[in-house]
Structure 1
């Protein structure tokens, strides 16, 4: 059993922290900007809640975070009441936020100077993956810190991989989102085409999903897409945030992402339709306007 803090109890963080407590058997203290949610988490799962990230992180072996963006991450780490103000030497900070590689490198440098470790560890698998404890975790950082943290991370994951030094986890997550964007757009166009052609989409997918066109998106999203149901899952607003990170990084490293840039604008169209919180599979709704 380790002493653990978890900062950020959103749709991902809430169940991830629960798995650390219930599956991992760790001593967990939680912090959330809205304190009532932290109180509710403790009422459901036990452990403790703290009023600030610094209070939550004090004397902990591992501190996890899963917040909104770079600014939120800086606030809970190097802010006046941030976790970095109180973390003990030798501890490990594990950030599960999808953020920029730049902020990961920045915080890793801060941690190194203070005598503890930082791992950027964004996740893939969505809310269902978090609730079921089967997330994929892409990690950037030092091998020794990774080896020490991995058994704890595995409380909510089925795949944990070290991708390289600080920032490499975030860069890998960018590739994940680039690939997903293209897959979802292709699936949306395929379903749209099939409907216009008068085909039975269920029959079509039953066949082509067993071949080279098959994907997680096809298996798990074609039914709801075909039925026009999008009020669930990974929100369009979150995807646009992630694709913005990808495009900003591409501007820095010189990568060409023409399809990603185009699909980002397609998601803007979905937002303009009022679909900010729709699942990312709602690209089909744009075609069916």
Structure 2
């Protein structure tokens, strides 16, 4: 089920935990949509900066931030980061009111989603895993794609609110399904970026006018978001923006671990993950994922 994002939900009390490159603007969209937002960030100065910029509130702990909130959203780094803000005496679950919904936008494992869903239900709370796609630009522009797992009634309660920063908010299935869908997304992207890198590198070595070539083939079957948004910057060798290689390797690690558990072969994904390891070794840990082409240029002595 995909929720329309044009609906304007009533003003709610919302908490947002984690103000990184994604969470900071996402929380801002909620405040601008008319909700009363309280934020928490591990670096308190970032939370105070957000509160000053958007006019919301900042709290010292997750438990304090979520007090009286109808919806709690989070976007942190990984499974351990997520547990650290959810569990324990200062965690979100300790402060949330009965029947409130926790929405996790972290790209994490399906296992931790199922784990925290079970803990939430024991405490009379709701948990929706809701990883996003669209990157930093999607978060800033409020046009993320949000893939959700969890109980349908909980999803229905939060879907319109998530429309503040999501252009498509879809329930995929039960707890963990959102994370599994995000893994599918990342598997697709890994192959696309490697293919686009090889194609551009090939075309440049052949002496083609690659901006012209991409303009032509982007009108046909080869068209993709990656070509639209990264083709020219890959031609120019510009990578100091976007979704970092470190983050992609974390995500691909989740994909490969899940594949090992369920017996699926991911040969191309495993290979691209190794290629990203090469990019890290070249100093590109924080480069955009399109930097795979730089590896090919180094190999050919054309970097």
Instruction: Please state which band the TM-score falls in when normalised by the shorter chain.
Output: over 0.9
CA distance in 2, matches of 1:164, 1:213: 30
1:260 aligned residue:
269
Which runs of 5 or more structure 2 residues have no equivalent in the other structure? 1-10, 299-303
| CA deviations over 1:50-81 (Å, ceiling 9, x no partner) | 00000001111000000000000000001331
CA drift of 1:222 comes to: 0.6
2:29 counterpart (19, 26, 30):
19
2:77 aligned residue:
68
Task: Give the ranges of 4+ consecutive aligned residues of structure 1 lying more than 6 Å apart after TM superposition.
Answer: none
What does 1:67-106 align with in structure 2 at a 5 Å threshold?
67-106=76-115
CA distance in 2, matches of 1:221, 1:245: 24
- Residue 51 of structure 2 corresponds to residue 42 of structure 1: yes
1:131 counterpart (136, 140, 154):
140
2:7 aligned residue:
none
CA distance in 2, matches of 1:257, 1:3: 42
CA distance in 1, matches of 2:264, 2:169: 26
CA distance in 2, matches of 1:79, 1:66: 18
1:227 counterpart (217, 236, 239):
236
What does 1:1-289 align with in structure 2 at a 5 Å threshold?
1-22=11-32, 24-289=33-298
Q: Alignment partner of 2:81: what SS? A: helix
Name the TM-score, length of structure 1 as normaliser: 0.99
CA distance in 1, matches of 2:191, 2:139: 23
CA distance in 2, matches of 1:136, 1:2: 22
CA drift of 1:89 comes to: 0.9
CA distance in 1, matches of 2:95, 2:54: 25
CA drift of 1:255 comes to: 1.0
Which runs of 5 or more structure 1 residues have no equivalent in the other structure? none
CA distance in 2, matches of 1:286, 1:32: 35
Q: Alignment partner of 2:237: what SS? A: coil
CA distance in 1, matches of 2:252, 2:196: 18
CA drift of 1:185 comes to: 0.2
CA distance in 2, matches of 1:235, 1:185: 15
| CA deviations over 1:103-152 (Å, ceiling 9, x no partner) | 00000000000011000000000000000000000000010000110011
CA distance in 1, matches of 2:89, 2:36: 25
CA distance in 2, matches of 1:7, 1:59: 15
CA distance in 1, matches of 2:88, 2:133: 27
| CA deviations over 1:214-234 (Å, ceiling 9, x no partner) | 100001101000000000000
Q: Alignment partner of 1:166: what SS? A: coil
RMSD: 0.5
